[in-house]
Amino acid sequence: MTAPLVPSVEPSVDHVEAIAALLDAGTAFAVHIGSPEPPDHELTFPHYVLWGAPATPGLQRMRGDGGDVWTRTQITCVALTPLDVIGAADRARRALHRRRPTIPGRRCGDIEQDPEAAVPPPVPDPTPRSPDGRQVYITALFFLLHSSPHTS
């Protein structure tokens, strides 16, 4: 008999990593968590930068935390033209929306694009430049994910 999978004590991190894995598998673009890892002169465009937030408990119980959580993950789409940003956003949505990630020890719901967060049009990012000095454009998408510990 195998031991049951014990859920991680860091579901916020698990959610971001699971979303990044689905985005990486479902698009042709590089995926970075927090900030791009390669130096600016080695970045490829378009690419995504994911930002996670601490989880929110799904239920408040009289006897403590049941382990189910909601997270909201920001995906910043980064490209060299506004149209490439829009295309990258479409690819991200198609790769994630209504997908159910696999996280050991947790039962995940479908990823959903946050209906409360309006997606702004692409805007120039004033700081970074492409390796050849071009302007970089960005927009942000927000996705929600719920998971709970396996109870078997």
In a domain, 44, yes or no: yes
pLDDT at 67 (0 to 100): 84
The pair of three-digit structure tokens given for residue 40, joined into one six-digit string = 């600016």
Number of domains, the chain: 1
pLDDT in tens, 94-117: 999 999 999 999 999 999 999 899
Beta strands in the chain (DSSP E): 30-33, 47-51, 56-57, 69-79, 106-108, 112-113, 123-129, 135-149
In a domain, 123, yes or no: yes
pLDDT at 60 (0 to 100): 62
In a domain, 1, yes or no: no
pTM for this model (two decimals): 0.89
In a domain, 45, yes or no: yes
How many whole angstroms separate alpha carbon 106 and alpha carbon 143?
18
pLDDT at 64 (0 to 100): 62
Residue 146: strand pairing partners: 70
Q: Taking the CB of residue 111, how many other CB atoms lie within 10 A of it?
A: 24
In a domain, 74, yes or no: yes
Q: How far is CA 106 from CA 4, 61, 63, in A?
A: 11, 19, 20
The pair of three-digit structure tokens given for residue 107, joined into one six-digit string = 């039962």
Note down the domain range covering 122: 11-59+66-149
Average pLDDT estimate for 34-52: 90
In a domain, 20, yes or no: yes
In a domain, 4, yes or no: no
Q: What is the domain-level CATH number for residue 134?
A: 3.30.2000.10
Q: 27 or 63: whose pLDDT is higher?
A: 27
In a domain, 128, yes or no: yes
pLDDT in tens, 55-98: 998 766 656 667 899 999 999 999 999 999 999 999 999 999 99
